[in-house]
Structure 1
Amino acid sequence: MFQDRKQIILSFFFLVCGIYILRLLYLQVIDDTYHTIGSTGALKKEVQIPLRGQIYDRNGKLLVANVDVYDMYVTPYKVKQMDTTTFCRLFNITRSYFDSTMAIAKSYSRNRATLFLRQLSKEDYARVADAMVSFPGFTFELSFFRTYPARTMANALGYIGEISKKAYEAQEVEYYRSGDYIGITGLEKQYEMELRGRRGVKFTMMNVHGENKGSYSNGEYDTLAVIGKNLFTTVDVEVQQLADSLFQGKTGCAVAIEPKTGEILAMGSYPYYDPNMLSGKQFSKYFKELYKNPDKPLNDRVATGFFRPGSTFKLVQALVALQLGAITPSTAFPLGGAPVKCHNHPGSPNDLHNAVRFSCNPYFYNVFRKTMSLGGETNPFKEAPVMLSKWHDMVEKFGYGQKLGIDLPSESSGLLPSVKYYDKRYGSFQWKFSNIYSLSIGEGEVSVNMLKMANLAATIANRGYWVTPHLVRGVGQNGKGVNPDLRTVHRTGIDPQHFEAIIGGMQDAVERGTVGGGAGIVEGIAICGKTGTSQNKKGKDNSVFIAFAPRYNPKIAIAVMVQNAGFGGSVAAPIATLMIEKYLKRKIERTAIKERMLNLSIKTVEAMAAGAAAKPIPTLTPESTSKPTPAAPVAPTKPQKESEKPVKTTFIKPKDENLNKTK
């Protein structure tokens, strides 16, 4: 028995040895591959960089494309004695650049190729190609740089740049080399894996003189580069470019969303810059200029900015109060006795409809006060800590105090103050309603970005739900591959009928309320909006406006903020309604309003406010009226046809929506 086992083990041992011997015999005698490599000298590994995927708008217009160029690499150990002066003259570089770049390459690796000179045009490459035989160690790779035909959306699209040392060293699987491009911000970073494609590799046999001796093993081990996948965005570039022009001379932001899908139609942060500035050889120069610019054009004010929502937040207060039963659409409150100013709107019934229409501060102060007193007692000073927790949970479902999940690498959560927040600030249960009442009109501690404001407009347009806002609707030729989380539906828990109670007031706010002067009326389109005037610690208040249109079957929701421009109806509302008009009609018919917005700068607004001899803007000055305009019904029994012209009315002059600032 023992002998049988011994024979089996020995047989297996001799079999393995025989296989190794036969393999060595094949490699050394029969297969001439290694003999060929030995005689020729070495293998040259050429990395083939694929073109990066292009980016399109929702109608197939090109937003981001590629231009072919050549990058030059150096392998230090291959560089022999050379005529450095001639080399520098050939490539129009300085000796100091040559020395410093060579030093960096040697410190990186003497045996691996390092980027030496970037983005030679095809003409430059053709001019120097023949001369390179005198400069061993330098090689060229076909590459590209980004170009932006539409010259817009710099912050959202982002830019690419050289991979940082930290990112290079953090690679789990080595893919990028020193000096390679990678998405740094925006969509370029968010969709880096899809856009970058897959690199190819080509092995070439070289002799000891560096001469090409042909493909290694007939190309058996070569791989082809795969072009990156294209992105198909949700953006309407015509609406986007209109916003760019309307914001000339102004600081702020604008974002428009398709309510039913969450698709972003336009997204601009201003002042903006031409994205071509951060593409090409002049990247470092222009980046420094933009970084030092006091207007901060590199900041994305839409997704990462922090602003007080102002009077737009009154809509949320009303919806929460309606759902909790604190008020009904017919609830009235006295206009006096509140620590916030009233606009003294003339003689209108003091119900929810007209409170929205005229943005009545005392009304919404009382709405919040009533909400905070629902804990069982009538004294809101005692019940505020109890009800604030429930209020916080309900408001949070609108997307406040959290990230909405947009497909961008940076998005701010904002602040929605909670019981824990106030306990930390004032001490556990050491605060009361008088400490928090400014929340009633969107001031105080609450802060949002403009994406959330547009999302609020979309939520109201949908009568109670919102879809995760997103910029990309398709990846690759088949348009698939988008994260399904970007189509998630979020429900607020507010009954749909409560939205109708405020929507009527929003339409009247545009047609005969706080917008005034006809600046918000677009023939044939019922626009429902809400103005806001958000306080600043420094300078004039911010002009804010949110809206959606049409009233029934809405196609667009929008938010616009113009910094230091004053009342929401004065500047933000005309810009927003022009964008709505462009999207729904594909043209601008209100050319006079467009021209005035194009020519209006914040300096002009400030001069007018200071009483300078500047001409007023006719469209922003409502007609005077001797008697109040009758209120429209809260919810019409029959939907208004979109083809109907708006009813001609006289317009009541809008008053300051601003909070009476408290100590």
Structure 2
Amino acid sequence: MYDGRKNVILFFFFSIGAIFLIRLFYLQVIDPKYRSIEATNAIKRHVEVPLRGQIYDRNHKLLVKNEEVYNMYVTPRKVKNLDTLKFCKVLNIDRNYFDSTMALATAYSKNRASLFKKQLSKTEFAQVADAMVNFKGFHFEQSFFRTYPGHTLANALGYIGEVPRKFYEEQETRYYRKGDYIGLSGIEKEYEEELRGERGVAFTLMNVKGEDKGRYEGGAYDTTAVVGRDLYSSIDMELQQLADSLFQNKVGSIVAIEPSTGEILVMGSYPTYDPNLLSGKAFSDNYMNLIRDPDKPTFNRAISSFYRPGSTFKLVQAVVGLQQGVITTQTSFIGAYSPMGCHGHGLHHMANLNNAVQFSCNPYFYNVFKRLIENTNEKSPYIGAREGLTNWRNMVGKFGFGTHLGIDIPGERSQLLPGLPLYDKYYGENRWKFSNIYSLAIGEGEIGLDVLKLANMTAVFANKGYWITPHLIRGVGADKKGMRPERLEVHQTGIAPEHFASIYNGMEEVVRAGTARQAYMKEIPILGKTGTSQNKKGRDHAIFIAFAPRDNPQIAIAAVVENAGYGGSSAGPISSLIIEKYLTGKIERRALAERMKNTSYTTVAASAVAK
């Protein structure tokens, strides 16, 4: 019985061994997929990196394109009888560069190719290609780098660079290799998957000496690289370039939106830089210089700055007050108390809403906000203020304040819309009331926006109550489809359209005969509002918002010029010139344009860096 059990066990183990041997024989001898030419051969996997997708403006002009370049590689073991002096002369390099680069290549591997010289232009390649047949061991591979024909929109477009070490080590799917290029900021980062394309792979048989023995299985397992998808942006490049010229010697930002679509026409952050600086061989040096610049040109003020909206915020107070029924268009506050002065205007500007908008009457909007906060049945001024502020914040938040709007580039900040937790922290629960927060009435105090949110607020007024998620890309790929649904979401404020329309006359009078007369255009009715944003580090910042034309608005715009003081004399004219160019295709007010280009303002570096 013991011998019988022993034989069964031995039979089992011999059977398992036989199965493994048969499988191994099949894989190594019969199956062509795994058969080797020699025992010492290996399969080399060569990744083919596709061209990156290009980026166009709304008129199909190239904003970002690929420039063809060539990288030279060396395989040290293949370098034979090299005339070093002649070689260096052909490539226009010195002997130190040759010796150090060859030493690094040899240390890496004598049998594998190493990068010897990168990014030779077409002209440089053509000049050396014929001569290189005399130098064994060197070969070229086609590559590319990004160029920016418009020399504009640096912060929004972003840049590409080598994959950061941390990102490489933490990537869930092993797609990127060391030394690969990836979008590191702006559109290049946000749309990385669309722009990068699909890599191809070619398998080559190599012997122990690293020699190429031909394509593995005749290329049966190779895949072809697929070029990245092009992006079609909503930016008007000529309009963007005009904004750049008008913001010379100034610090600030400007954003223009097509209200009916949420498409961004202009997004400028100043001072800016030529995006070509962060492309090509000089990337590292130029990047460090930009980072060290005290005026922070790489800081995108359009989406990350912190400005108090000033008097532009009075428009929001007006429509919220109308919606809540605490005022009508004819409400007068003549004789009402206010701790705020009114820019030297007489009390008659408190007679109705349009007058108050036209002349930016502080006492009027102080009283509007007071009624909003006290619009409760609560007798305690402390508890009542809590209820009133909560209701006010809920309505104002629907304009997109205090949150991310969802623009399709990284770096947007939510900024600040005050609520109960903030004031409870400042003063203690039930220990603050209207008198502690009344500066909110005129867009000061504990409220902060960026220029994108100001432009989006303007689009709400142009649309009479709603906004569409602002976005820079309007189409992806040849069919211009593939837009992400969240980029096109419609957001309602819940305020009736007639309340927005009821202040249009006042906004038009702001430009025609009010605080922004320098922005006036007889041919185009511009509806606007000036603002002054308090600044503790220097002169106040100038703000202007506007949309045009009055009927069927085509453009909504917001501009901030830091340390310029008064919005009507700086941000207003700049915005009106952008409006003129967009709606008419030209600039007739050339003297105004030249004056704004040549006007500079004393600035304090990075005064609006997000808090």
Report the equivalent of 1:53.
53
Report the equivalent of 2:3.
none
Cα separation, partners in 2 of 1:105 and 1:440, compared to 1, 3 Å: farther
Residue type matched to 1:521 in 2?
A: Y
Contact 2:334–2:350, Cα closer than 8 Å, also in 1: no
Cα separation, partners in 2 of 1:448 and 1:75, compared to 1, 3 Å: farther
Report the equivalent of 2:442.
441
Report the equivalent of 2:183.
183
How far residue 594 of structure 1 moved from its aligned partner, in angstroms, is: 1.4
Contact 2:373–2:384, Cα closer than 8 Å, also in 1: yes
5+ residue gaps, structure 1, are 1-6, 607-663
Report the equivalent of 1:552.
551
Cα separation, partners in 2 of 1:47 and 1:75, compared to 1, 3 Å: farther
Identity %: 54
Contact 2:417–2:448, Cα closer than 8 Å, also in 1: yes
1:523 aligns with 2:505: no
How far residue 596 of structure 1 moved from its aligned partner, in angstroms, is: 1.5
Following the alignment from structure 1 to structure 2, what is the Cα–Cα distance between the partners of residues 389 and 33? Answer: 70
Report the equivalent of 2:202.
202
How far residue 134 of structure 1 moved from its aligned partner, in angstroms, is: 6.6
How far residue 568 of structure 1 moved from its aligned partner, in angstroms, is: 1.1
How far residue 344 of structure 1 moved from its aligned partner, in angstroms, is: 3.1
Residue type matched to 2:363 in 1?
A: P
Cα separation, partners in 2 of 1:506 and 1:115, compared to 1, 3 Å: farther
Cα separation, partners in 2 of 1:543 and 1:75, compared to 1, 3 Å: farther
Following the alignment from structure 2 to structure 1, what is the Cα–Cα distance between the partners of residues 179 and 92? Answer: 19
How far residue 83 of structure 1 moved from its aligned partner, in angstroms, is: 8.0
1:120-168 Cα distance to aligned partner (Å, 9 max, x none):
33454462787599775x7653221000001110000000011111011
Report the equivalent of 1:353.
354
Contact 2:27–2:35, Cα closer than 8 Å, also in 1: no
SS at match of 1:574: helix
Report the equivalent of 1:488.
489
Residue type matched to 2:238 in 1?
A: E
More moved, 181-190 vs 17-26: 17-26
SS at match of 2:35: helix
1:297 aligns with 2:297: yes
Report the equivalent of 1:237.
237
Report the equivalent of 2:608.
none
SS at match of 1:302: helix
Report the equivalent of 1:595.
594
SS at match of 1:341: coil
Cα separation, partners in 2 of 1:275 and 1:64, compared to 1, 3 Å: same
| 1:324-363 to 2 correspondences below 5 Å | 324-334=324-334, 337-346=337-346, 347-348=348-349, 350-363=351-364
Contact 1:545–1:576, Cα closer than 8 Å, also in 2: yes
| 1:250-269 to 2 correspondences below 5 Å | 250-269=250-269
Residue type matched to 1:457 in 2?
A: T
Contact 1:335–1:363, Cα closer than 8 Å, also in 2: no
Cα separation, partners in 2 of 1:35 and 1:386, compared to 1, 3 Å: closer
Cα separation, partners in 2 of 1:219 and 1:348, compared to 1, 3 Å: same
Following the alignment from structure 1 to structure 2, what is the Cα–Cα distance between the partners of residues 328 and 426? Answer: 33
How far residue 466 of structure 1 moved from its aligned partner, in angstroms, is: 0.4
Following the alignment from structure 1 to structure 2, what is the Cα–Cα distance between the partners of residues 139 and 542? Answer: 57
Following the alignment from structure 2 to structure 1, what is the Cα–Cα distance between the partners of residues 81 and 259? Answer: 65
Following the alignment from structure 2 to structure 1, what is the Cα–Cα distance between the partners of residues 425 and 99? Answer: 58
Contact 1:473–1:479, Cα closer than 8 Å, also in 2: yes
Cα separation, partners in 2 of 1:380 and 1:15, compared to 1, 3 Å: closer
Cα separation, partners in 2 of 1:98 and 1:285, compared to 1, 3 Å: farther
Cα separation, partners in 2 of 1:596 and 1:26, compared to 1, 3 Å: closer
Report the equivalent of 1:316.
316
| 1:220-619 to 2 correspondences below 5 Å | 220-334=220-334, 337-346=337-346, 347-348=348-349, 350-376=351-377, 383-516=384-517, 519-603=518-602
How far residue 337 of structure 1 moved from its aligned partner, in angstroms, is: 3.7
Cα separation, partners in 2 of 1:35 and 1:533, compared to 1, 3 Å: closer
Cα separation, partners in 2 of 1:212 and 1:123, compared to 1, 3 Å: farther
Cα separation, partners in 2 of 1:425 and 1:597, compared to 1, 3 Å: same
Cα separation, partners in 2 of 1:350 and 1:223, compared to 1, 3 Å: same
Residue type matched to 1:595 in 2?
A: E
Report the equivalent of 1:65.
65
Contact 1:157–1:187, Cα closer than 8 Å, also in 2: yes
More moved, 209-218 vs 275-284: 209-218
How far residue 45 of structure 1 moved from its aligned partner, in angstroms, is: 2.9
Contact 1:256–1:264, Cα closer than 8 Å, also in 2: yes
How far residue 24 of structure 1 moved from its aligned partner, in angstroms, is: 2.3
Contact 1:51–1:144, Cα closer than 8 Å, also in 2: yes
Cα separation, partners in 2 of 1:495 and 1:188, compared to 1, 3 Å: same
Cα separation, partners in 2 of 1:81 and 1:369, compared to 1, 3 Å: farther
Report the equivalent of 1:623.
none
Following the alignment from structure 2 to structure 1, what is the Cα–Cα distance between the partners of residues 114 and 417? Answer: 49
Residue type matched to 1:187 in 2?
A: I
SS at match of 1:385: helix
Residue type matched to 1:561 in 2?
A: V
Residue type matched to 1:597 in 2?
A: M
How far residue 329 of structure 1 moved from its aligned partner, in angstroms, is: 0.9
How far residue 452 of structure 1 moved from its aligned partner, in angstroms, is: 0.3
Residue type matched to 1:551 in 2?
A: R
TM-score computed with the length of structure 2 as normaliser: 0.88
More moved, 585-594 vs 544-553: 585-594
SS at match of 1:303: helix
Contact 1:335–1:362, Cα closer than 8 Å, also in 2: no
How far residue 406 of structure 1 moved from its aligned partner, in angstroms, is: 0.3
Contact 1:372–1:380, Cα closer than 8 Å, also in 2: no
Report the equivalent of 1:141.
141
SS at match of 1:391: helix
Cα separation, partners in 2 of 1:329 and 1:72, compared to 1, 3 Å: same
Following the alignment from structure 1 to structure 2, what is the Cα–Cα distance between the partners of residues 442 and 84? Answer: 74
1:393-438 Cα distance to aligned partner (Å, 9 max, x none):
1111110000000001110100001011100111112222221111
Cα separation, partners in 2 of 1:104 and 1:368, compared to 1, 3 Å: farther
Cα separation, partners in 2 of 1:95 and 1:234, compared to 1, 3 Å: same
Report the equivalent of 1:646.
none
Cα separation, partners in 2 of 1:32 and 1:230, compared to 1, 3 Å: closer
SS at match of 2:519: coil
Following the alignment from structure 1 to structure 2, what is the Cα–Cα distance between the partners of residues 146 and 262? Answer: 28
How far residue 239 of structure 1 moved from its aligned partner, in angstroms, is: 1.1
Contact 1:373–1:379, Cα closer than 8 Å, also in 2: no
Residue type matched to 1:535 in 2?
A: Q
SS at match of 1:569: helix
Cα separation, partners in 2 of 1:502 and 1:131, compared to 1, 3 Å: same
Contact 1:88–1:95, Cα closer than 8 Å, also in 2: no
Let me know the Cα RMSD of the aligned residues: 3.3
Equivalenced residue count is: 590
Following the alignment from structure 2 to structure 1, what is the Cα–Cα distance between the partners of residues 83 and 601? Answer: 55
Cα separation, partners in 2 of 1:128 and 1:389, compared to 1, 3 Å: same
Residue type matched to 1:554 in 2?
A: P
SS at match of 1:34: coil
How far residue 99 of structure 1 moved from its aligned partner, in angstroms, is: 5.0
Following the alignment from structure 2 to structure 1, what is the Cα–Cα distance between the partners of residues 189 and 94? Answer: 31
How far residue 381 of structure 1 moved from its aligned partner, in angstroms, is: 6.0
5+ residue gaps, structure 2, are 1-7, 605-611
Cα separation, partners in 2 of 1:114 and 1:211, compared to 1, 3 Å: closer
Contact 1:510–1:529, Cα closer than 8 Å, also in 2: yes
Cα separation, partners in 2 of 1:442 and 1:125, compared to 1, 3 Å: same
Residue type matched to 1:574 in 2?
A: P
Cα separation, partners in 2 of 1:356 and 1:133, compared to 1, 3 Å: same
How far residue 551 of structure 1 moved from its aligned partner, in angstroms, is: 1.0
Cα separation, partners in 2 of 1:511 and 1:225, compared to 1, 3 Å: same
